[in-house]
C-alpha cells in the first residue's frame, strides 16, 4: 500500500490558531502520511459570483484535495456555540463542485476552544452540517480541548494526557478507516 494522504482543514484563519496546533498534533498522531492543509481563505459564497465567474480556483483546488485524500481531519473552532463562517463557507462552496468529494470519505473532527467544554456544541453542529455530503464521519472518541490556551507547550504539543490519549485513539480509528478504504480500492483496481 502506498503512503496515505491526510488533508487537514482548520476553521480558524489566524496565525496563532490553537485549532491549527491541534490539527498538526492530529497529523502527528495519524502517523506516516503525505499531509497538506487546505486553504479556506475563499471568497464569501455569492451566487452572482458563481454564475458570472464560475467556481473560484481555490474552491476547485480544495474539492480536488478532499477527493484525493484518504482521510480528512477538521479542526473546528467554536464561535458562539457553532462552527465559524469560514468553515461553513468552504463547505457551501465545495458543495457547488461536481463529483461529491466528501462521499464515503473518512473524516475526524477535533476542536480547541477558550471555554471549558472544548467545542462539544460546535462539533455537534458541524456533524449536522456535513450530513448532506455523506462522509464516513467518525463518532469518537471526541477530542474536545477546552481552556485551549493552557493545553499546548511552547512547541505546540498537547500537554494533557487525556487529550493526548483521545487524539491518539481518534486518529488511529481514522487511519484504520483510511486503510480499509484503500484496500478495497486497490482490490477493485
Ligand atoms: C466570535 C467568537 C466567538 C466565540 N465563541 C466561543 C464559544 O461559543 N465557546 C467557546 O468556548 N469559545 C468561544 N470563543 C473563543 C474561542 O474558542 C477562542 O478564541 C479560540 O482560541 C479560537 O480558536 P483559534 O485559536 O483556533 O483561532 C469565541 C471566539 C470568537 C472570536
- Tell me the pLDDT tens digit for each residue of 116-153: 999 999 999 999 999 999 999 999 999 999 999 999 99
- By alpha-carbon position, which residue is closest to atom 4 of ligand 1? 79
- Mean of pLDDT over the chain: 97
In the chain the first and final C-alpha atoms are separated, in Å, by 13
- Structural domains of the chain, ranges and CATH numbers in brackets: 5-188 (3.40.50.360)
User: pLDDT tens digit string along 32-66?
Assistant: 999 999 999 999 999 999 999 999 999 999 999 99
Pocket lined around ligand 1, Cβ cut-off 6 Å: 12, 14, 17-19, 77-81, 112-115, 148
- Cα–Cα nearest to 84, from 92, 76, 94: 76
Output phi, psi for 170, to 5 deg: -65, -45
The pLDDT tens digits of the residues spanning 160-174 come to: 999 999 999 999 999
Any residues with CB less than 8 A from the CB of 127 and at least 6 apart, and which? 109, 137
Q: Are residues 7 and 72 in contact, defined by beta-carbon separation less than 8 angstroms?
A: yes
Q: Is the pLDDT of residue 1 over 80?
A: no
Q: Ligand 1: distance of its center to the CA of 46 in Å?
A: 26
pLDDT category, 77, cuts 50, 70, 90? very high
Q: 142: CA distance to ligand 1 center in Å?
A: 18
Helices (H) and strands (E) counted in the chain, each on its own, are 6, 6
Amino acid at each position: 500500500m502506498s503512503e496515505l494522504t491526510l488533508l487537514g482543514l482548520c476553521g480558524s484563519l489566524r496565525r496563532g490558531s490553537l485549532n491549527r496546533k491541534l490539527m498538526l498534533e492530529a497529523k502527528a498522531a495519524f502517523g506516516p502520511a503525505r499531509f497538506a492543509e487546505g486553504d479556506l481563505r475563499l471568497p464569501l459564497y455569492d451566487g452572482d459570483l458563481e454564475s458570472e465567474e464560475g467556481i473560484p480556483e481555490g474552491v476547485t483546488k480544495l474539492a480536488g484535495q478532499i477527493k484525493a485524500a484518504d482521510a480528512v481531519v477538521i479542526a473546528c473552532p467554536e464561535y458562539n456555540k457553532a462552527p465559524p463562517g469560514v468553515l461553513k463557507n468552504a463547505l457551501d462552496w465545495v458543495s457547488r463542485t461536481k463529483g461529491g468529494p466528501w462521499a464515503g470519505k473518512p473524516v475526524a473532527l477535533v476542536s480547541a476552544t477558550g471555554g471549558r467544554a472544548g467545542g462539544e456544541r460546535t462539533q455537534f453542529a458541524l456533524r449536522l452540517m456535513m450530513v448532506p455530503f455523506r462522509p464516513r464521519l467518525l463518532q469518537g472518541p471526541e477530542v474536545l480541548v477546552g481552556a485551549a490556551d493552557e493545553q499546548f507547550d511552547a512547541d505546540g504539543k498537547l500537554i494533557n494526557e487525556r487529550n493526548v490519549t483521545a487524539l491518539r485513539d481518534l486518529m488511529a480509528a481514522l487511519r484504520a478507516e483510511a486503510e480499509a478504504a484503500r484496500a478495497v480500492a486497490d482490490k477493485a483496481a
